[in-house]
Chains A and B, each alone.
Chain A
Amino acid sequence: MNDFAHLLDRLAYEPRRNAKLRLLQDFFARTPDPDRGFALAAMTGALSFREAKPNLIRGLVEARVDPVLFRMSYHYVGDLAETTALIWPSPPPPPPGPGHNNPPPHVPSLAEVVEALGTIGKSDLPARLAAWLDVLDETGRWALIKLITGELRVGVSARLAKTAVASLGGVEADAVEEVWHGLKAPYIPLFAWVEGRAERPESLNPAPFRPPMLSHPVDEETDFAKLDPEAFAAEWKWDGIRVQLVGGRDRAGAQVARIYSRTGEDISGAFPDLAEAVRFSGALDGELLILREGRVQSFNVLQQRLNRKAVTAKLLQDFPAHVRAYDLLALDDEDLRPLPFAERRARLEAFVQSLDQARIDLSPLVPFRGWDELTAARADPAAAGAGPDAEAIEGVMLKRRTSAYVPGRPKGPWWKWKREPYRVDAVMMYAQRGHGKRSSFYSDYTFGVWRESPEGGEELVPVGKAYHGFTDEELAKLDRYVRNHTVKRFGPVREVEYGPARGLVLEIAFEGLQRSTRHKSGVAMRFPRVSRIRWDKPAAEADRIETLQKILERGEREVMPGRGMA
C-alpha cells in the first residue's frame, strides 16, 4: 500500500504529463504482480468493490476527533481524504508484551486491501478501515481513503496509465486499449504480453470499445483563414452524449450489444432500449439523444433520464433513447477506421438505411459553400435545415473529407465550433472556498439578478453559481475582493456587499436555462461561468429576472411546441 501511496503522492504534486508518465512507468517496472495490476485498475477506474461512502469516513473520524473541529478542518482543507489523513490521531502504543518486543504492525499491501474490500461484509468495513488507518502513515491514509471512496483524482487519465503500461515493452497505447475490455485486474496476462513474456491476450470481448477521435475548438480569428472550406464536411454538433454502439457475436453465436461512453465506460445497462436495437456486427459512433415523435429533445430532458438510478418501464417510455450516428468504425469484422471520412460516410449512410431501425438514424451533413454560409448555419440551425431540432444543437463539427479515424485528439482533421452562449450581467452575492487546488481561494460565486421585491422595492435573487471562466490572476483579484467586502460569514461561505450602489457585477455566460423548483428564482442555468468581471459596471445596471424568463420561454416554445407560449 505504501508504494502505491507514494506514487499517488508524487503524481499529485507533478503537473507535467511527461513526468507523470515517467513516474508511472517507473512504478509499473519495479512493482511486482499483482500489486501493479491493482494499481492500474485503481487508476483506470476498473476496480469494483464495496466502496466506502464519505459518510462512513466522516463517522470514523468523528468518533475520534471533535466533530466541530473536524468540520472546520474539512472546510479549510477542502478534501475529505486529506483532512482525515492529517487529523487521524495516532493510536496509543500497545502494552509491551511480556519478555519480548511487540512486532511492528502489519502494513497491508494494495492487493491485500483490494482483495479484502472485495469480500468484506458491510458491517465489518468500518472496523477494518479504522485498523488500516491506524497502521498507515499520513500518505498511506490519504491514498487508502482516495481508493476506497473511488476518487483518486491525481491527474492521471485511464489513457495515461495505459500508455505507461504500453511503454514497458514498446507497444502502442491503442493496442492496449483494444485488448483492454477483455481483461480484468490484476492484468497479469497484459503485463506478460507487453513485457514480451507471453502472447497478446485474446480479446474475449466480441464487441470491443474503440478509442474515439476527438476535435479541437476552432479559433474563428485565425483558423478559417488557413482552412479550405471545400476540404471539409460539416455536421451539427448535437447536445447529447457521445457514445459508441458496438455489436458482435459471442462464441456461441449469440448477439452481443454494448454501449460505451466516450471514455470507454460500458453504459449498456442504463440504456436497454437502445442496446436492444443493436442487432448488427460493427461499431457506430454517434450522439445519444432523447427523441419524442421524431423530435430531438433538449439536454435538459436527456439529463432527467441520466439522473435516474433505476431504469423503469416508465422511464423508458417517457425518455426514449436514440442514437444519431455520424461515423462507422467497423462493419462485419472489417475495420473502416483507416478509410477517408468521405468513404466512411458513404458506408455509414448505406448502413444506417439498411438497418431500418427507428432508434438509430443518420446525423445529416450541413451543406455550405464558404465559411460565411457556415457561419449563418451555426447562428440559425433551424433555418439551415435542422428545423425544430435546432435547440438541441450546440454548434457545428467540421471534418476533413480525407481524414482517417484516428484515436485521440489529432490537430487538424476535426474541428468543433460551438454556438455563442447566452450572457447576462449578474451581481456577486456569496462566495465559497473552492476544493482541491483552490481550497484556500474564494472561487465559487453565487450571483443574482434584480427583481421586484414583495415589498415593492428592488432586490437581488440568486440565479446560479459559477466557479470557472476566470484566469488564476483574476481569481486572486476576486478572492481579494471577497475578503475585503465580506459582510457575513457562514462557515466556508461569505456573504459579500451587494445592493444598487455597491457590489461586483459578473458577466455570466451559460448554455441554457431550465425551470427549477429548487431555486428561489425558479430558473437553473446550464454550464454557467464567469465570462467577464465588470469592475466598471454599477450593480444597479445588472440584468433583471425578466431577461432570464424571456430566454426560458423562448427555449420552451422552440423545443416543445404545443406547450407553454406558442
Chain B
Amino acid sequence: MARTPADLLTLTREGLYCPPGDFHVDPVRPVPRALITHGHADHARAGHGRVLATGETLRIMAVRYGEAFCRTRQEACLGETIRVGEVDVRFAPAGHVLGSAQIVIEAGGTRIVVSGDYKRAPDPTCRPFEVVPCDVFITEATFGLPVFRHPDARDEVRRLLDSVRLFPERTHIVGAYSLGKAQRVMALLREEGFDAPIHLHGALEKLTDLYKREGIPLGETPKVGAADRPKLAGAVVLCPPSAIQDLWSRKFPDPVTAFASGWMRVRARARQKGVELPLVISDHSDWDDLCRTIVETGAGEVWVTHGQEDALVHWCASRGIAARPLHMLGYGDEEAETAQEETAQEQTAQDQTVPGNAA
C-alpha cells in the first residue's frame, strides 16, 4: 500500500511518532517504544519501555542514567534493516557524536530520514555522516542562519595551543559539552601533538572513560582534584561550559577561559559567558552544510525540527523545496544538556554524602 509521509510520521506531544511502526523518535516524555538518534540528554531520555539505538548510544544512556534506563533495549547495527511493526527501519551514521545515527523509516515506497543532530565536518571520535537519498528529510537547524560558518576545528585548536604557548603561567580552562565536544577537543589536541595530560572536571570523567573503552585514544586525562587547582599553571583543563564562570574556575592560577562552541561565532554570545578565547568548534552542521545536505539527499520535502527553523524553511522555499517548521519544543542545543548534566551531578554528590548509599 502506498503511503504518504504524513501516514508514516506525525507530531505528538511526546515528539515524532510513527503510527504504522508504533514508535516514537527521540521522545521528550516516556513512551512504550522509542528509537533514539544519539545520546544527548534532550534526545535520549530515561524511562521508556523499549529502546532501539546504536550500541554506543545505549551504552552512553546506561552511563548517564544507570543500567535501568529502560525496560528492554535492542541494539541497531548501522546499515542493517530492522522490521518494526509495518515499517522498515535502518540506522545510518550522523557524524554528530559517538554512536549518533540518522533513522531511515521506509514503507509503501516512501522514505523518511530523521537525521537527528548531524555534522559534515570531520571528527576523529565518530563515524562520518552518510547521505541517504530520501523523500522527506527531517533536519535540525541549530545553526540555521547564514552567519554561522564554522571554521576548520583544527585551526581553532591550534589557536588554543598558541595561547597555551603564549601564557605558560596561566591555566587554560576550556568549556566543552560533556558528551562529544569534550572528547573531540581532546582528540584534536592529540592530533596536534599535544601530549601533556588533559585535566578533566569531574562532570566529564564518566563519558570520557566510556569513549576510551569504545576504542578512542584520548591519552592521559586525570581528574582535577580540589587541591590540584592552584598547581595547574600552564595546563589545559576541560570542564562543562557552566563551570567556566563558576567559583570552581577561580581557584586556578590566572585562568584563560575558552569555550568550544559554534555559538562562539557571535561576539555577544562569547561576551555573555565571559569568554576570553572563543573557539568556534561545533558538532552541528553550519549553514552551508545544512543547505548542501538538503540538496544532496534529493528530498522533495524538508521538515525542520528545532533551532533557527524560519531561515532554513525560507531558504528551501526559495529553491522550490517544500519545507515546514515543526516548532518542536524540548530540544535545545547542548546547553540544556549541560544543565541536566549538572543536576545529575549534584544528585550524585548528594547521594555520596548519604551513608550506606555508596552502591
**Residues of A bordering B, CB below 8 Å:** 12-15, 65-66, 68-70, 72-73, 76-79, 82-83, 86-87, 436-440
| B276, CB-defined interface residue at 8 Å | yes
Task: Kindly provide the distance from the CB of B88 to the nearest chain A CB, expressed in whole angstroms.
Answer: 37
Interface status of B2 (Cβ within 8 A of chain A): no
Partner of B145, one of A73, A78, A79, A437: A73
When distances are taken between beta carbons in the complex, the residues of chain A under 8 Å from B266 are: 76-77, 82, 86, 439-440
Is B308 a contact partner of A72 (Cβ separation < 8 A)? yes
**B146: interface (CB < 8 Å):** yes
B270 is contacted by which of A13, A70, A72, A77 (Cβ under 8 Å)?
A13
- The residue that A65 contacts in the complex, of B146, B268, B271, B314, with Cβ under 8 A, is B146
**Across the interface, which residues of B come within 8 angstroms of A72, CB to CB?**
145, 308, 310-311, 314
Assess whether B147 is in contact with A76, with CB atoms less than 8 Å apart. Answer: yes
B343 at the interface (CB under 8 A from A): no
B168 at the A interface (CB under 8 A): no
B263 to nearest A CB, angstroms? Answer: 8
Once the chains bind, are B272 and A440 in contact (CB under 8 Å)? yes
Q: Quick one: CB contact mask for B265-294 with A, threshold 8 Å, 1 for yes?
A: 111111110111010000000000000000
Q: A66-B318, A77-B268, A79-B267 are in contact. Are A87 and B276 (CB under 8 A)?
A: no
| B315 at interface, CB cutoff 8 A | yes
Please state if A68 and B314 are interface contacts (CB–CB under 8 Å). yes
**Do residues B265 and A86 form an inter-chain contact, with CB atoms below 8 A?**
yes
Interface residues of B (CB under 8 A from A): 145-149, 265-272, 274-276, 278, 308, 310-311, 314-315, 318
Provide a sorted-by-A list of 7 A–B residue pairs whose CB atoms are within 8 angstroms: A66-B318, A72-B145, A77-B147, A86-B265, A437-B271, A440-B266, A440-B269
Residues of B close to A70: CB separation below 8 A: 146
Chain A residues whose CB sits within 8 angstroms of the CB of B268 once the complex forms: 77-79, 82, 436-440
Distance of A86 Cα from B145 Cα, bound (Å): 10
- Tell me whether B271 and A12 are in contact (CB under 8 A): yes
Distance in Å: Cβ of B261 to nearest Cβ of chain A: 12
Most buried by A among B267, B269, B271, B272: B267
- Indicate whether A73 sits within 8 Å of B270 (C-beta atoms), given known contacts A14-B276, A66-B315, A66-B318: no
Give the distance to chain B from A367, nearest Cβ to Cβ, in Å.
48
Bound complex: CA A68 to CA B272 (Å): 27
Would B149 and A86 count as touching, CB distance under 8 A?
yes
B311 touching A73, Cβ below 8 Å: yes
Q: Which residues of B contact A65 (CB under 8 A)?
A: 146
For the complex of A and B, list the 10 residue pairs with the smallest distance between their C-beta atoms, beginning with the closest: A86-B147, A439-B268, A73-B147, A72-B311, A73-B145, A87-B147, A87-B146, A437-B271, A69-B146, A68-B314
Known interface pairs A13-B271, A437-B271. Does A73 touch B278 (Cβ–Cβ under 8 Å)? Answer: no
B residues near A436, Cβ cutoff 8 Å? 268
A83 to B266, CA, bound (A): 9
State the Cβ distance, B320 to closest chain A Cβ, in Å. Answer: 14
Chain A residues with CB under 8 Å of B267's CB are 12-13, 79, 82
Which residues of A lie under 8 Å from residue B318 when comparing CB positions? 66
Nearest A residue to B266 by beta-carbon distance?
A: A77
On chain A, the residues within 8 Å of B308 by CB distance are 72, 76
CA distance A68 to B311 in the complex (A): 8
Report whether B310 and A437 are in contact in the complex, using a CB–CB cutoff of 8 Å: no
In the bound complex, residues from chain B placing their C-beta under 8 Å from that of A87 are: 146-147
**How long is the Cα–Cα vector from A13 to B311 in the complex, in angstroms?**
28
Q: What residues of A have a CB within 8 angstroms of the CB of B311 in the complex?
A: 68-69, 72-73
Whether the Cβ atoms of A13 and B276 lie closer than 8 Å is yes
- Residues in chain B near residue A86, CB distance under 8 A: 147-149, 265-266
| Least CB distance, B314 to chain A, in whole angstroms | 5
Complex Cα gap A77–B263 (Å): 11
Q: Closest Cβ of chain A: how far from B323's Cβ, in Å?
A: 14
Query: How far, in whole Å, are A395 and B87 apart by their CA atoms in the complex?
Result: 75
Does B271 contact A76, Cβ atoms closer than 8 Å? Answer: no
Known: A12-B271, A86-B149, A87-B147. 6 other contacts (CB 8 A): A69-B314, A73-B147, A76-B145, A76-B266, A77-B266, A440-B272
Give A326 Cβ to nearest chain B Cβ, in Å. Answer: 38
Q: Which residues of B sit under 8 angstroms from A68, Cβ to Cβ?
A: 311, 314
Min CB distance A252 to B, Å, is 51
> How many whole Å from A148's CB to the nearest CB in chain B?
18
